Amino acid sequence: MKNKLGVQMLFRLAVFFVLVLIDQVTKHYAGLYRKNTGSKAIIEPLIGLSYVENTGAAWGMLSGQRLVLIGLPIVTSVFLMYYLWDTLRQKQMFLSYVLTILLAGAMGNLYDRMFHDGKVVDFFTGWACLPVLVEILFRLL
C-alpha cells in the first residue's frame, strides 16, 4: 500500500515539474513575442493573448508587497502538499491532479516573483478560464 502511494506521489511530482517547465517556457515566449505588441484575440471576447507583468496578486491586489507575495505561496504550498498527500491516501485521483496543477501554478509564479524583480508574467486575457477556476474551487470545498 505504501509503495503504491509513493509511486503515485512520484508521478504527481513528475507532472508538477513538467507543468512548471511549461509555465516558464510559455511565459518566456510570451515575453519574446507578445511584449509591447498589445492584445490579440483568439476567440473574442472569451480568450486572447497579451503580455502583462503583474507586481500584485489577482487583479493587482497587494501590488508591491513582494515579501507577502513570496511568503504566502510558500505557506499555501506546504498545506497543498499535505492535502495532496492526503488525497492520494484516500484515492481521490481527480482532486490530486487538481492540487498538482495548483501547486505547479503557485511555484511557477513564486519563481517569477523571486527571479524576475517581483513580477509575475500573465499572458492570457478574457473569461474562458473562469469556469475552470470556479470548478476547481468548488471541488476543493
- Check residue 92 and report its DSSP letter: -
For residue 138 the three cell numbers come to 468548488
Q: How many domains does the chain have?
A: 1
Q: Are 120 and 53 spatial neighbours (Cβ–Cβ below 8 Å)?
A: yes
Q: How far apart are CA 94 and CA 77, in angstroms?
A: 18
Which portions of the chain are predicted below pLDDT 50? none
pTM: 0.78
Mean pLDDT of the chain: 82
Q: How far apart are CA 52 and CA 71, in angstroms?
A: 22
Domain that holds residue 25: 2-140
pLDDT at 78 (0 to 100): 93
By DSSP bridging, strand 47-54 and strand 120-125 are antiparallel
Q: How far apart are CA 98 and CA 106, in angstroms?
A: 12
Quick: pLDDT tens for 76-94: 999 999 999 999 889 888 8
